[in-house]
Amino acid sequence: MNLLVKYASILFFSSALISCGDGSNDHSTTDAEMHSDENVADHGDDLDQNSDLSLQLNNGDKWLVNDEMKPSVEKGEEALNAHLASKNGDYKSLAQELKSADENLISSCTMDGRSHDELHKWLHPHLTLVSDLENAESPQEADEVIEKLKTSYENYHTHFQ
């Protein structure tokens, strides 16, 4: 059952990501979009044809992220850091906080072009990690995912400003 929940979460977030940057602020998805396997498998199709799946810098510089999107990333990172500092072990609550921050990030997306494409290269695996945390079945499994989430935020800061 956890696999089904994980798969449904990935489909939802992937569908939301695909609609991101379409010029409108309405990021709702239809049931067909949410349940389409092609949206997950072909997510990279909206990326620049010359790009690959690894994050790239903007000619050696960081990509600009729209100001309205930055607070959502910061909120997620702050939740992760607070969890690490508290050592309370409530990884399910952390997963919900990260999921909420990511939903806000997606709904505030107004970016387009290459910076948008590069942000998606970061965000898609990040969303998968949040889903993995949400579905972790033990504190040890959660700790492994949390370490990967730390790295995810480090990658964000390496590539975006």
Could you state, in order of their start, the residue ranges of all structural domains in the chain?
1-15+63-161
Backbone angles phi, psi at 157, to 5 degrees: -70, -25
Q: Tell me the pTM.
A: 0.70
The strand pairing partners of 160, in sequence order, are 63
pLDDT per residue of the chain (161 residues) written in tens, 0 to 9: 554 444 444 444 444 444 454 444 333 332 223 322 333 333 333 333 334 579 999 999 999 999 999 999 999 999 999 999 998 889 999 999 999 999 999 999 999 999 999 999 999 999 999 999 999 999 999 999 999 999 999 999 999 99
Q: Which amino acid is at 72?
A: S
Kindly give the residue spans of alpha helices, DSSP state H, lying in 52-136: 70-86, 91-107, 113-134
Q: Measured between alpha carbons, how far is 68 from 75 in angstroms, rounded to an integer?
A: 12
- CATH code: domain 1-15+63-161 is 1.20.120
Identify whether the C-beta of residue 127 lies closer than 8 Å to the C-beta of residue 134: no
| Tokens encoding 115 | 């910076």
At residue 61's C-alpha, the angle toward residues 57 and 63, to 5°, is: 65
How far are the Cα atoms of 8, 30, 108, 113 from residue 33, in angstroms, in the given order? 12, 5, 19, 22
Give 3-62 as a DSSP string.
Answer: HHHHHHHHHHHHHHHHHTTSSSS-----HHHHT-HHHHHTGGGGS-TT--SS---BTTBP
- pLDDT digits over 63-72, tens only? 999 999 999 9
